[in-house]
Copies of this chain bind each other. A is one copy, B any other.
Amino acid sequence: MPTRIAVLLFDHFTALDAVGPYEMLCRLPDTEVVFVAERTGPVPNDRGELGLVATRTFAEVPAPAIVVVPGGPGQEAQMENEVLLEWLRAVDATSTWTTSVCTGSLLLAAAGLLKGREATSHWLALDRLKRLGAEPTGRRVVTDGKYVTAAGVSSGIDMGLTLVGRVAGDRHAQAVQLLTEYDPRPPYDAGSPGKASADLVEEFRTRSRFIPR
């Protein structure tokens, strides 16, 4: 039996949150990745213009080895979706790794899975993560036991590659990094609140409605 990895999808998720770690984790040896949602079929992203196809319902994926929870503005509605939260609790009971990207950690926290644990989220959501009982850190990828949470959007790639190394060893992870040519060269150095200009950070903190408080 291949190792089963479940990537959760829900309306108005952020596409890169799901596809970044997917592109790393799918290259684990002998692995099958399924895309799971309340219903099968296309699930629209946060802009409604990109659909990823859910191939399995919650009931069809009761015990994946690895669970990946993306974030995105749609996470807000899902925090009150008991069907989804119950699935998270159920799969977490037997998972080897439970992971999230961006505000996906708010969903794990809402399901009660991050109480007292070190975790992270999108930088604009760290206060909220704390109020949900986790202990936010400023690190990009945070591992606490079997829980691996990543910061905003693009950080899911680092999380996925980190997890590939934990599961399959450094050499396999380096092969994945080389094959996906993950040697990043951002044209700017403004990717975190400590590096971006203060007025840009402030602008997001005050006007941003994309992550509800």
Task: Give 1 or 0 for each of A130-159: 1 = CB within 8 Å of chain B CB.
Answer: 000000000011000000000111110110
Would A47 and B19 count as touching, CB distance under 8 A? no
Is A74 in the interface zone, CB < 8 Å from B? no
Residue of B whose beta carbon sits closest to that of A102: B181
Task: Give 1 or 0 for each of A56-81: 1 = CB within 8 Å of chain B CB.
Answer: 00000000000000000000000000
Would B154 and A174 count as touching, CB distance under 8 A? no
Chain B residues, CB < 8 A from A51: 42, 52-53, 55
Chain B residues, CB < 8 A from A49: 26, 32-35, 55
Number of A interface residues at 8 Å Cβ cutoff, please give it: 65
Is A200 in the interface zone, CB < 8 Å from B? yes
Q: Copies of this chain, how many?
A: 2
Given contacts A23-B14, A184-B184, contact A152 B179 (CB under 8 A): yes
**Distance (whole angstroms) from the CB of A47 to the closest CB of chain B:** 6
Chain B residues, CB < 8 A from A15: 19, 22-23
Chain B residues, CB < 8 A from A209: none
Chain B residues, CB < 8 A from A55: 49, 51
Would B23 and A185 count as touching, CB distance under 8 A? no
Task: Give 1 or 0 for each of A72-104: 1 = CB within 8 Å of chain B CB.
Answer: 000000000000000000000000000000100
> Can you offer 30 A-B residue contacts whose CB atoms are under 8 A?
A14-B23, A22-B50, A23-B153, A33-B50, A34-B49, A42-B42, A50-B52, A51-B55, A122-B181, A153-B180, A154-B183, A154-B184, A158-B184, A158-B185, A158-B186, A165-B187, A171-B200, A173-B187, A173-B188, A175-B203, A177-B190, A177-B191, A178-B192, A178-B200, A178-B201, A182-B191, A183-B186, A183-B189, A183-B191, A184-B191
Which residues of A are at the interface with B, using a C-beta cutoff of 8 A?
14-16, 19-20, 22-23, 26, 32-35, 42, 47, 49-53, 55, 102, 122-123, 140-141, 151-155, 157-158, 161-162, 165, 170-171, 173-175, 177-193, 195-197, 200-201, 203-204, 210
